[in-house]
A and B are shown apart, each in its own frame.
Chain A
Amino acid sequence: MIEIYEPYIPVLLIAMIVVVLAGVILLANGLLGPKRPTRLKGIPYESGVDPVDSPRHRFSVKFYMTAILFLVFDLEVVFLYPWAVNYNGFLADPGFAATAFGSMAAFLVILALGLFYEYKRGAMSWD
């Protein structure tokens, strides 16, 4: 069980180093730099005009649509990976080659149809 994760020890180690590195850089600046806050410095930058209210209003539904599209397609791309890696092995087996190609071709067609449907419904138009 634990042996599977052994190659990930360096990943964990370096993740810790990188976190510390980022922390040190940011903290060093906090210690070395001056601290002279003024009221004007604190106003959000809007090209010299004072902001009228908080910008956190509702924003376009298009961004949510993009996020949903991403979830769908990224998952489907991940489904392709194991098939792609083993594809040469599948093709080497004469009895299975046609199944290996045909099943994934069907999957890609369904994927393309889904994409076409989304396009027709206007999920990707930003006018």
Chain B
Amino acid sequence: MLMVILAALLKFAAIVLGFVMVLATLLTLIERKQSALMQNRTGPNRAFVFGKNPLSAFVGQLIADPVKVLLKETFDPPHADTWLHRLAPGLAFIPALLMWVVIPFGPGPVPGAEGDNFFLMADLDAGVLVVFAIASLSVYGSTLGAWASRSAFSLLGGLRTAAQMVSYEVTLGLNLVGIFMIYGSLNLNDIIWAQAGYDAATGFQNAYFLGFIPKWGIITQPFAFIFFLAASIAETKRAPFDLPEAESELAAGYFTEYSSMGFAVFSLGEFIGIVVVAALGATMFLGGWHIPGLPIELTAAGQPVIASLATWLSVAAFLFKVVLLVLLQMTIRWTLPRFRYDQLMHLGWVYLLPLSLANVAITAFVLFLTR
């Protein structure tokens, strides 16, 4: 019991504090630098800590931002509902971090094997359902914050957030149905092993289509991947789906009335959300920690050998895929213009949802024919 708690704490420290929070903090700056690069500007470049060079400015900005935000005045607007207003940033932040509990960031035991997963905080058979259960909670933070602010821009942003997140959640959930059909599990670790071409009967890993194409979700469900990507960008409220915080229409949307840390926690939660959907996409569609052609060394009990190089390379591969998907989302954000609100709803309900349904039906039919 004590061991379980200690192990969970250590893994939390390693992956959430060591990777997710660091990446999310880096993203706040990388985002500005990337947008500057894409728009032919220089971006933040003068918070020097050691010498006048770009690296010094980069590091300095990373230190200066949190310190500044921490020392700024936080206040409750007299017109707002005080406690709801204070509570909301936390509510937006908590689900984003909590979702990491079920995402495996390294090779686990093969499906059916006994024992704990070294690279996973909680090995749940209902893994994906837990992700969706927690993800649905994140709509409360932004909507409640908007409502409690009692400001016109906030309220409009909050309404848009609620309608948008709720609409695209259906698509998000529906596009994973094909994956469950093909790989036959809701457990994220089992899904990755299936994508790695693991055969429970023979214990063979690394089976491929035509001998070289990995059995990743992006190969078996290419359309689902595209729809999933679109829906996940909408879920994280990023351009071209950034209607809830459309700067040119609504000031800052649902967090207009927030200052200092309240504001920072909202945006940090959003950046963590980007990393989470990237991790989910990498797990479901890009084979998680699987590197094609690199078999994982297994013990007799079906556990990966922790001291093996292949195991740690796989962890690095997972983190690399996550970063890759995050950068893809960033590039999309700075490439495409914003939708109009009716276009957004139209896209979600009239195109993405029926197409996702068709994708499920066709997948089921193909599996039925090739059984």
* A residues neighboring B (CB under 8 Å): 7-11, 13-15, 17-19, 21-23, 25-26, 28-30, 32-37, 41-47, 51, 54-56, 59, 62-63, 66-67, 69-70, 73-74, 77-78, 80-81, 84-89, 91-92, 97-98, 101, 104-105, 108, 111-112, 115, 119, 124-127
Which residues 1-44 of B sit at the A interface, judged by CB distance below 8 A? 1, 4-5, 7-9, 12
B353 within 8 A of A: yes
Contact B75 A115 (CB under 8 A): no
Chain A residues in 8 Å Cβ range of B154 = 44, 55
Closest 3 CB pairs of A and B: A29-B261, A126-B342, A44-B151
Q: Which of B123, B156, B261 contacts A26 (CB 8 A)?
A: B261
B242 within 8 A of A: no
Closest to A91 in B: B371
Interface of B is mostly: helix
- A14 with B12: in contact, given A33-B73, A56-B155 (CB under 8 Å)? yes
Interface of A is mostly: helix
B152 within 8 A of A: yes
Chain B residues in 8 Å Cβ range of A70 = 166-167, 169-170
Chain B residues in 8 Å Cβ range of A36 = 73
Chain A residues in 8 Å Cβ range of B5 = 9-10, 13
Contact B265 A25 (CB under 8 A): yes
A-B contact count (CB 8 A): 216
Number of B residues near A (Cβ < 8 Å) is 81
Q: Which of A51, A69, A77 has the most CB of B within 10 A?
A: A77
Chain B residues in 8 Å Cβ range of A66 = 163, 166-167, 345
- A35 with B75: in contact, given A18-B98, A45-B256, A56-B150 (CB under 8 Å)? yes
Which residues 117-142 of B sit at the A interface, judged by CB distance below 8 A? 121-125, 129-130
Contact B86 A26 (CB under 8 A): yes
A-contact bits for B299-341, CB 8 A (1 contact / 0 none): 0000000000000000000000000000000000000000001
Instruction: Enumerate 26 A-B pairs (CB-CB under 8 Å) in ascending A order.
Output: A9-B122, A10-B5, A14-B121, A14-B122, A28-B261, A32-B71, A42-B75, A44-B152, A44-B257, A55-B152, A63-B159, A63-B162, A66-B345, A73-B170, A74-B170, A77-B170, A77-B173, A80-B177, A84-B180, A85-B184, A87-B184, A87-B364, A91-B368, A97-B371, A111-B357, A126-B341
Q: Which of A10, A46, A77 contacts B8 (CB 8 A)?
A: A10
The answer for the CA separation of A67 and B101 in the assembled complex, in Å, is: 28
Chain A residues in 8 Å Cβ range of B345 = 66, 124, 126
Closest to B361 in A: A108
B115 within 8 A of A: no
Return A98 CB to nearest CB of chain B, in Å.
Answer: 8
